[in-house]
Amino acid sequence: MKLCPVILCGGAGSRLWPLSRRLYPKQFMDMGGHTLFGDTLKRLGGLPELTPPLVICNREQRFLAAAQMQEQGLEPAGRVILEPEGRNTAPAIAVAAQAALERNRGEDALLLALPSDHVIREVGAFARAVAQAAACAGQGRLVTFGVEPDGPETGYGYIQRGEALSTGFAVRRFVEKPRREAAEAMLAGGGHYWNSGMFLFRASLFLSELRRYAPDMFRAAADAWEERAEEHDFIWLGEAFAACPADSIDYAVMEKTSLAAMVPLDAGWSDLGSWSAVYDAAAKDAAANALVGDVLAENVSGSYLHSSGRLVAALGVRDMVVVETGDAVLVAGKEHSQEVKTLVARLSRQARSEKDTHLRVFRPWGWYETLALGERFQVKRIMVKSGASLSLQLHHQRAEHWVVVSGVGRVTVGDKLLELHADQSTYIPLGVRHRLANAGPLPLEIIEIQSGSYLGEDDIVRFEDTYGRC
Amino acid sequence: MKLCPVILCGGAGSRLWPLSRRLYPKQFMDMGGHTLFGDTLKRLGGLPELTPPLVICNREQRFLAAAQMQEQGLEPAGRVILEPEGRNTAPAIAVAAQAALERNRGEDALLLALPSDHVIREVGAFARAVAQAAACAGQGRLVTFGVEPDGPETGYGYIQRGEALSTGFAVRRFVEKPRREAAEAMLAGGGHYWNSGMFLFRASLFLSELRRYAPDMFRAAADAWEERAEEHDFIWLGEAFAACPADSIDYAVMEKTSLAAMVPLDAGWSDLGSWSAVYDAAAKDAAANALVGDVLAENVSGSYLHSSGRLVAALGVRDMVVVETGDAVLVAGKEHSQEVKTLVARLSRQARSEKDTHLRVFRPWGWYETLALGERFQVKRIMVKSGASLSLQLHHQRAEHWVVVSGVGRVTVGDKLLELHADQSTYIPLGVRHRLANAGPLPLEIIEIQSGSYLGEDDIVRFEDTYGRC
């Protein structure tokens, strides 16, 4: 039976704010030339007999997911399933199971469900564990991967091992995120593992167990799949999905089924679930500091200092997390980094944009970055990929000036068509239809100055769009 | 005898980096609608029988000093003395003494030497102390102001009081910045005061004592005054000043003369000599935090958190100093804030611009701010005061695009003269003479996009300049 990987990309990753944000979350973040989602796809290369992976994410992130799949040489068309809104892992996997069965024309498939935002250092060990789990699942089990704990971590759920099976172990019990003392007891007692959130099982078996233990969820997921639309290379789940109860696969199925099994995973795993986990996974200097970017540290120890651009100068601090971005700076005690979520919740109550978006906003055609926002002007830096073009659009309340910094632009203004090279500029009066395209082989970089009484992103009328955004 | 205030503005204020920098130091910094230099000038209003103040600063800061004097209704012409380079307080006061005597046509004057970057909360108490010091100085004393200590501060020098005079006290001894234990002993023993760095004495008496105890300094200062040039409303000291030994008035004169006296000052004084002193002087909330600007604090206490623009979010920290600026972020333990100097020294060894300049650079005509600097482009926001104009100039290696955001610009490009209003723009090819002026009653704000292979400030040829910078 072939193995069908299912990559779960729905997470918002607010625990790594301000680097990770709703519209550009942890799994898609640039970690220095690579992303966790990209690493997850690459890791599959070590596995035999795979069907191409299915990717499940929310609609806002579809272009990020597609672009990063292409970077890994994977064709996204027909493989990216879009949730109208997040419903946790169980419904997402249920939909993926429907998709896998349909793709195999009713024949069964083994689903390998993987979070998209974890680190696994040893690919060989990972592949061996997957092979064991596949054998175990072949014998009618729902298999979870248990990580050998290296400390009394209170941020993870635990799995207690049961009797040995021909491969892997039965599961005696699942344990909620424990208190410190309980975690230490489990560590001392042995036979307990961290719940990694990775699973392997037959699609048909998962669905039958889901139907037994969570029939509403089974039904809603099946309907959402039935009602799906396939447009612009994406699979858009029906609105029935929004009516689906939200729950994790652990609560909805694994803790209830009698068929749960566990395969140990010892492969340098981390879920990077907090800044202190990022610190633990990072390379450190002699003072046990992990310094990223333009950082100056004087009399500093045990700290994670991350600059995205501006100089970060730290003096006489220990066990700190400092993360600098274009519009927000986090300064936290390392042992408090689990509480970043509460900070983000406060931002959310204040409806602040720093919660969701970065200064740099990714679009299917490239990205833009706000350099300055004033009383009645905004300056943006815009990068258009080779061959890409923005929509044909107009603005009712703002004029725009474009100056080409590098590359070659093909610019439509009203009924004129211009080719603009470096140092050349053009002016788009308000109310005039315009379009920007990259006419060259290199990235097109321009500076846009918007001037007008209202500068909101919503003052846009689209007439044509390559990416189906009209 | 009339009182001639001498305001010492030479300080670089590196201890309040990154807010205070060489080209825009502490005394000129905006403290929320006011500056310490402006406050120092305003404070003089409470004193009787004054001659207009003399201001001594370095050449780079002349426009800042002049602008802030005008804001206080003081005419800077003929009153701002420029040092070719800083030589500490004694030479500066020596030059001021020469200036005061000359202004009084040889008649003697009382000099009131004041640092420009201190806080004094109670103006009445300050005026009373000055009156006492004037009386004491009238009896042939060199008077220093001693601050009643409110703690065993190790950041200040101390003065031990001697026998009482008809007004004030003789000085028994000056004490270097002490160790903690020594400071506690002095506090317990009583009769010890902080050395405030403010002085009052006859100009002639100071000069004769200086001649006796530091003849080289006396000579160099006198020569520098002789060789002065008066141009563009400023007094430019001769290069002889650079040859002058650098020393503080305490070491050079006060600790040697037998005529030292002290008048107590109890007027809510602080030198704001470190971020912890700024914290002490600031208003605090219930958690003993001083929050400035866009700051979010969760489980934070005893901390000074200052945002100049971007969101600063702090979580689970205590007794911290965080100062965010456009290009640098300082994160320091409050008790380490005296060591900021060492950080700045490191930046200086690395020849980093964050040491000297802000993103916003002040010019006699207004200011500019770099919004973005890329491979071969730079975006600047430029504000030109009403009636002001930049120099007539050209650049060999960059073209410039100007877009008017608000106000009315009069723009010279080659031999064309244009008037530009909001939303209008113009292009200046490289090698073409150009000039920007504000033709309206309101500030002129433009966005400038420079494009070219080299974008350094030094690629500029000036032909005419209102401010004598050709």
- Mutation target vs A (from B303, B311, B450; most A CBs, 10 A cutoff): B311
Q: What is the distance between the alpha carbons of residues A14 and A352, in angstroms, rounded to a whole number? A: 14
pLDDT at position B140, please? 97
**Tokens standing for B4?**
């001639």
Q: Which of B314, B328, B405 is opposite residue A310, by nearest beta carbon?
A: B328
* Closest to B400 measured CA to CA, from B366, B435, B360: B435
Q: Which of residues 8-47 of A touch B (CB under 8 A)?
A: 18
A-B Cβ pairs (cutoff 8 Å, strict)? 184
Residue A186 has what pLDDT? 96
pLDDT class for B352, splitting at 50, 70, 90? confident
Q: What is the mean pLDDT of residues A144-164?
A: 94
Residues B401, A403: C-beta atoms closer than 8 Å: yes
Q: How far apart are CA A369 and CA B377, in angstroms?
A: 15
**Contact: A328, B320; criterion CB under 8 Å:** no
Calculate the dihedral angle through the C-alpha atoms of A100, A102, A108, A112, rounding to the nearest 10 degrees.
0
State the nearest Cα–Cα gap between B330 and chain A, in angstroms: 5
Closest-CA distance of chain B to residue A73, Å = 30
Give the separation between CA A429 and CA B248, rounded to whole angstroms.
62
Residue B4 near residue B109, CB atoms below 8 Å: yes
- Return residues 366-395 of B near A (CB < 8 Å): 371-372, 374-377, 379, 381
The pLDDT mean for chain A works out to: 93
Distance from CA of A349 to the nearest CA of B (A): 13
Which strand ranges, in their side-by-side order, compose the sheet holding B311-318? A290-292, A304-307, A320-324, A328-333, B311-318, B295-301
Residue with more model confidence, B153 or A249: A249
How many angstroms away from the CA of A117 is the closest CA of chain B?
A: 24
CA gap B349, B292 in Å, rounded: 31
Q: At B133, phi and psi to the nearest 5?
A: -65, -35
Within 8 A by CB and 6+ apart from B372, the residues are A371, A379, A381, A447, B378, B379
Tell whether the model's pLDDT for residue B359 goes beyond 80: no
Q: How far B418 CA sits from the closest chain A CA (Å)? A: 17
Question: What is the CB neighbour count within 10 angstroms for residue B295?
Answer: 21
B336 touches chain A (CB under 8 A): yes
The alpha carbon of residue B423 is apart from the nearest alpha carbon of chain A, in Å, by: 6
The closest CB to that of B316, out of A305, A336, A399, belongs to A336
- Local structure of A316: helix, strand or coil: strand
Q: Tokens representing A191?
A: 């036979």
Strands (E), A278-415: 290-292, 295-301, 304-307, 311-318, 320-324, 328-333, 360-363, 366-373, 377-384, 392-394, 398-406, 409-413
Q: How far is A213 from chain B (nearest CA, A)?
A: 41
CA distance A375 to A363: 26
**Residue whose structure tokens are 């060990």:** A125
Q: How far apart are CA A144 and CA B342, in angstroms?
A: 53
Rounded to whole angstroms, what are the CA distances from A192 to A152, A158, A169, A267? 11, 6, 12, 16
Spatial CB neighbours of B396, under 8 Å, sequence gap ≥ 6: B430, B431, B459, B461
Number of H helices, E strands in chain B: 10, 30
The answer on pLDDT for B14 being more than 90 is: no
Q: Say if residue A149 is preceded by a cis peptide, omega within 30 of 0.
A: no
Confidence at B452, pLDDT banded by 50, 70, 90: confident
| Predicted pLDDT at B301 | 98
Could you give the percent of chain B with pLDDT greater than 70? 100
| B398: nearest CA partner in chain A | A423
Residue of A nearest to B310 (CA): A327
Report the pLDDT value the prediction gives residue B369, as an integer from 0 to 100.
87
Which residues on adjacent β-strands are paired with residue A300? A317
Of the pLDDT bands very low, low, confident and very high (cuts 50, 70, 90), residue B148 is very high
- Summarize pLDDT for A342-372 with one digit per residue, the tens: 899 898 888 887 777 777 788 889 999 888 7
pTM: predicted TM-score of the whole model, two decimal places: 0.83
Q: Which two tokens stand for residue A469?
A: 């955004």
What does residue A131 show for φ and ψ, rounded to 5 degrees? -60, -45
Q: Which of A150-154, A230-234, B196-200 has the largest mean confidence? A: B196-200
Mean pLDDT, all residues of chain B: 93
| Phi, psi angles (nearest 5°) of residue B286 | -60, -30
B67 vs A116, which has greater pLDDT?
Answer: A116
Question: What is the Cα–Cα distance from B124 to B319, expressed in whole angstroms?
Answer: 34
DSSP-derived letter for residue A310 is S
CA separation for the pair B377, B453 (Å, rounded): 8
Instruction: Determine the Cα–Cα distance for residues A371 and A23; give it in Å rounded to an integer.
Output: 19
Q: Which of B377, B442, B344, B78 is nearest to A446 (CA)?
A: B377
Q: Which residues contact B469 (CB under 8 A, 6 or more apart)?
A: B391, B462
Q: What distance in Å separates the CA atoms of residue A12 and residue A117, rounded to the nearest whole number?
A: 10
DSSP for B198-228, written as a single string:
EEEEEHHHHHHHHHHH-HHHHHHHHHHHHT-
A425: enclosing H helix or E strand: strand A425-428
Give pLDDT, residue A355.
75
**Would the CB atoms of B313 and A343 count as touching at under 8 Å?**
yes
B341–A contact, CB cutoff 8 A: no
Higher per-residue confidence, A110 vs A371: A110
Alpha-carbon gap, residue B424 to B381, rounded angstroms: 15
Q: Is B203 on the interface with A (CB under 8 A)?
A: no
Q: What is the DSSP string of B367-422?
A: EEEEEEE-SSEEEEEEEE-TT-BPPEEE-SSEEEEEEEEES-EEEEETTEEEEE-T
Instruction: State how far the Cα of B61 lies from the Cα of B38, in Å rounded to an integer.
Output: 14
pLDDT score recorded for residue A218: 97
What local confidence, expressed as pLDDT, does residue B126 receive?
97
Q: Which of A403, A424, A453 to mutate to test the interface with B (most CBs of B within 10 A)?
A: A403
Residue A103 Cα, gap to closest chain B Cα (Å):
47
What the block records as the tokens of A19 is 């680097």
Using alpha carbons only, give the angle B336, B264, B117 rounded to the nearest 5 degrees.
45
A163 touches chain B (CB under 8 A): no
Task: Note the pLDDT of residue A330.
Answer: 97
Measured in angstroms, the CA of B372 and the nearest CA of chain A are apart by: 7
Interface of B with A in 216-255 (CB under 8 A): none
- At residue A225, does pLDDT exceed 90? yes
Interface of A with B in 342-371 (CB under 8 A): 342-343, 346-347, 352, 354, 371
Lowest mean pLDDT among A120-124, B26-30, B293-297: B26-30
Rounded CA separation B144/B197 (Å): 7
Interchain CB distance below 8 Å, B447 and A445: no
- B222: closest CA of chain A, how far (Å): 43
Tell which wins on pLDDT, A5 or A31: A5
Burial class (CB in 10 A: 0-12, 13-18, 19+), B246: middle
CB B147 within 8 A of CB B187: no
- pLDDT of B360 reads 79
Q: How confident is the model at residue A214 (pLDDT cuts 50, 70, 90)?
A: very high
Residues of B in contact with A448 (CB under 8 A): none
Within 436-455 of B, beta carbons closer than 8 Å to A belong to 445, 447, 449, 451-452
Closest CA to B220 of B255, B184, B247: B247
Average pLDDT over residues A103-111: 92
CA distances for B141 relative to B197, B205, B249, B283, angstroms: 16, 8, 15, 38
Q: What is the pLDDT of residues B297-344, one digit of tens each?
A: 999 999 999 998 889 999 999 999 999 998 899 999 999 988 999 899
| Cβ–Cβ below 8 Å for B312 and A329 | yes
Site from A318, A356, A377 to mutate, B interface, most B CB atoms within 10 angstroms: A377
Q: How many CA atoms lie within 13 A of B196 on its CB side?
A: 32
Q: What is the CA radius of gyration of chain B?
A: 24
Best CA proximity match to A398, nearest among B444, B380, B422, B418: B422
Within an 8 Å CB–CB cutoff, is residue A401 touching chain B?
yes
Within a 10 A sphere around the Cβ of B238, how many other Cβ atoms? 16
The residues, any chain, with a CB within 8 Å of residue A458's CB and separated by 6 or more, are: none
Q: Which of B15, B447, B454 to mutate to test the interface with A (most CBs of A within 10 A)?
A: B447
Out of A178-192, A231-245, B192-206, B366-380, least confident range: B366-380
Residue A90's H or E segment, with its range, is helix A89-103
ipTM confidence score: 0.82
Residue B76 Rama label (left phi>0; alpha psi -120 to 50; beta) = alpha
Are A211 and A256 contacting, i.e. CB atoms less than 8 angstroms apart?
A: no
Query: With contacts defined as CB-CB under 8 Å, which chain B residues touch A401?
Result: 401, 403, 425
Asked whether the beta carbons of residue A316 and residue B339 sit closer than 8 angstroms, the reply is yes
State the CB neighbour count (10 A cutoff) for residue B326. 17
State how far the Cα of B269 lies from the Cα of B345, in Å rounded to an integer.
28
pLDDT at B215 over 80: yes
- C-alpha distances in Å from residue B152, one per residue of A166, A178, A337, B175, B190: 74, 48, 36, 13, 12
Q: How confident is the model at residue A60 (pLDDT cuts 50, 70, 90)?
A: confident
CB contact under 8 A, A324 and B320: no
Which residue is listed with tokens 């202004």? B103
Question: B261 has which bridge partners?
Answer: B143, B170
Give, for A174, the enclosing helix (H) or strand (E). strand A169-175
pLDDT at B13: 79
8 Å CB contact of B401 and A405? no
